[in-house]
Structure 1
């Protein structure tokens, strides 16, 4: 299964926010620069994460982004379910037009594979992804410096 850029950036932004040490909030621009990605796209990702309650956003001076909940409460499987279209094929939707749908074994196999994929992700939370936070901070440059 290939994750969308939106989910990829969602995970990256959460990692970035989780490894920050200081009280100052992070900016979308700073996170995008650290990863070398589009600030426009990162802003859309941040908006999604705010909507789902993973990130708190504050406007104005001293504002920015912060995790809205502890990293051990942010489940990776749940995040992927929220940010991905998990409809692998047309027949995974309610209006399948495939003539072999009732007898299709491929659909069943792909469904089981997807369930296994998500089950593995369900076993991890953001704190697992940032257990090597010192190394991540070093790779993200000055992620702990004001931004």
Structure 2
């Protein structure tokens, strides 16, 4: 199973925000420029994370977005589920497969997917930023003393 680029971008946004001071308002341009991401993709990610109450958006002059929760309270599984949507690795329904009534593949793959998400429930955004090496601070444009 491979996560989509949108999910990858979502984690970049969350890691960026988690490394900023608590009330720091980031802009879409700032994130897009920092990670060299397409601005339209960052807009999509921000919209989804906002709908999922993972980030808070503030409109208008001086607006931006910030984490709606502490990094330790944002589970990786929640981010993956939100941004990936329905994780359906095997799509038997869209094909007129004559094996569908007797094939066990979909059930086995679904069981593996649930196990994957269960493991991700054990980790949070805090886990992604807590053991960073000094070099990562340069990637997200912060000084180590800002955290």
TM-score (norm 2): 0.85
Question: Which residue of structure 2 lines up, in the alignment, with residue 16 of structure 1?
Answer: 16
Q: Which runs of 4+ in 1 moved over 4 A?
A: none
Aligned equivalents of 1:131, 1:18: Cα separation in 2: 10
Question: Which residue of structure 1 lines up, in the alignment, with residue 110 of structure 2?
Answer: 111
Q: Which runs of 5+ in 2 are unaligned?
A: none
Aligned residues: CA RMSD: 2.1
Q: Which runs of 5+ in 1 are unaligned?
A: none
Aligned residues: 142
Secondary structure of the corresponding residue to residue 56 of structure 1: strand
Comparing 57-66 with 17-26, which one deviates more in the overlay? Answer: 17-26
Secondary structure of the corresponding residue to residue 86 of structure 1: coil
Query: Equivalences for 1:31-110 in 2 at 5 Å?
Result: 31-84=31-84, 85-91=86-92, 97-110=96-109
TM-score (norm 1): 0.85
Shift of 1:125: 0.8
Aligned equivalents of 1:96, 1:137: Cα separation in 2: 47
